[in-house]
Structures are given as structure tokens and as C-alpha cells.
């Protein structure tokens, strides 16, 4: 499941940033510094994740700026929030 979430995160980044390839993106790739994600594109990216991953919704009460630091951190956030939604 973790690899699937990482794949979905990469695809949402590709869609948001109009990237032709995600081959260079790893879990350590920084969203702002390496990919140029800014505040507006972050919102678009999060909405793309909600559309792409069934059962995932961004929870503003649990989302922290550190969750948007790199691909690995946003993947962990998605995993955590998806599990929380599935337990309800």
C-alpha cells in the first residue's frame, strides 16, 4: 500500500506541476526546494491527492507544514489520514 501511495503522490505532483516524467522524484525529493511547489500549487496538489486516493481527505487540523516538506512526508500523511478514515 505504501508504494501505491507514493505512486499516487508522484502522479498528483505530475498533474499539478505539468511534469512529463516522475522518474527523477524520490521520497527525499523536497516539494518546495526541488519541485517549486508554492502555496497555491500546494492547494492544487492536495486537491489532486483527494481526487486520486479514495478515502483520503485533507484534515486541516492535522496537516502540518512539515507534512509538505518532501514526497516521503506527504506520503506518510496520506497513509496516516487514510487509515484514520478507514477506522471510522
Query: pLDDT tens digit string along 17-75?
Result: 999 999 999 999 999 999 999 999 999 999 999 999 988 999 999 999 999 999 999 99
Mark 55-78 as b/e (b = at least 16 C-beta within 10 Å). Answer: ebebeeeeeeeebbebbbbbbbbb
Which residue matches cell numbers 492544487?
44
**Phi, psi at 4, each rounded to 5°:** -65, -40
Residue 83's pLDDT is 62
Q: What is the CATH number of the domain that holds 41?
A: 1.10.1200.10
Which residue matches cell numbers 519541485?
35
Record the pTM.
Answer: 0.89
CB 19 within 8 A of CB 13: yes
Residue 85's pLDDT is 45
Q: How many domains does the chain have?
A: 1
**Phi, psi at 70, each rounded to 5°:** -150, 175
Residue 88's pLDDT is 45
Cell of 47: 486537491
Expressed as residue numbers, the domain containing 7 is 2-18+26-87
For residue 5, pLDDT beyond 90: yes
Amino acid at each position: 500500500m505504501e508504494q501505491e501511495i507514493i505512486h499516487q503522490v508522484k502522479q498528483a505532483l505530475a498533474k499539478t506541476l505539468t511534469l512529463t516524467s516522475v522518474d527523477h522524484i524520490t521520497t527525499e525529493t523536497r516539494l518546495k526546494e526541488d519541485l517549486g511547489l508554492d502555496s497555491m500549487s500546494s492547494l492544487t496538489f492536495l486537491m489532486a491527492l483527494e481526487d486520486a486516493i479514495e478515502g483520503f481527505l485533507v484534515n486541516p487540523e492535522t496537516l502540518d507544514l512539515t507534512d509538505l516538506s518532501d514526497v516521503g512526508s506527504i506520503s506518510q500523511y496520506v497513509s496516516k489520514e487514510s487509515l484514520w478514515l478507514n477506522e471510522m
